[in-house]
Chain A
C-alpha cells in the first residue's frame, strides 16, 4: 500500500514568509509525528498527534510553529514568519497504534530553505 507522503518536497521561502507543509500518513494510522532534521544530524521531535488530538508539542521551537490534524488523517505543519534557522528537512511519520515499541513509518521529507 501507499506509504507516508509529504508535499511539497522542496520549498524555498523568503525570510518572513509563512509556509505550510503537508503530510498524508498511511491510511488508518492512529499516531502522527513531525520531526525536524538539520543537515548532518538526526531527526528531532517536534510534535505528536493521536488521531486529531495534539498530545505533545513540546518540541516545537517557537510559537511561530503550529501543527494541526483536524480530521485525524492529513496533517499540516505551518511556520509563520520564517527565519533562516528554520532551514531544515521536515519529516512526518505515522504508526498504526498508540503504544510502545511501534515502528514509525517516515515520509520522504520536505526540504525547506529560507533565504
Chain B
C-alpha cells in the first residue's frame, strides 16, 4: 500500500541555517506529493506540491523536488526564520485513487533566534 516516511524530529536550528527535512514514499500508482505545515494552534496549510516526477514545488522560500528514482520529496530552505517554527507533514495522494491522503508522522522544526 501507499505510505510516507519522514525524518523524526524535533529539528532545532539557528536562524538563517539551512533546512532539510527528508521524506520518502512508497506508492503503487502515480502519486502526487505535498508538504503541509501546521503552525501552533492552527490547522494544516498547504506549503507546496508536485504532481509528477521531476517537478519542483516552491513557496515562501521552501522547495521540494519530486524524485521518482529515489522515491523522495525532501523539503529544503536556504535560510530559516524563527517564524518557520512549526510541524511539517509530507503527504501523497494517488493520481487515480485520489480520495485520500497518506501523511507522514510530521517533523517539528524549532528555529532559535
Contact = CB atoms under 8 A, between A and B. Distances in A.
B32 A43 contact: no
Interface in B73-99: 89, 91, 93-99
B106 A41 contact: yes
Which residue, B32, B42, B43, has most C-beta atoms of chain A within 10 A? B43
B44 interface: yes
A44 to B, nearest CB: 7
Report the interface size class on chain B. Answer: 20 to 34
Contacts of B104: 42
Given A42-B106, A55-B99, A106 B34 contact: no
Given A42-B106, A48-B100, A101 B43 contact: no
Interface string A14-46: 000000000000000001010100001111110
A78 B94 CA distance: 28
A70 interface: no
A33 B100 contact: yes
Contact of A100 (B34, B96, B103): B96
Contact of A43 (B93, B94, B103): B103
Interface of A: 4, 31, 33, 35, 40-45, 48, 50, 55-56, 59, 91, 93, 98-109
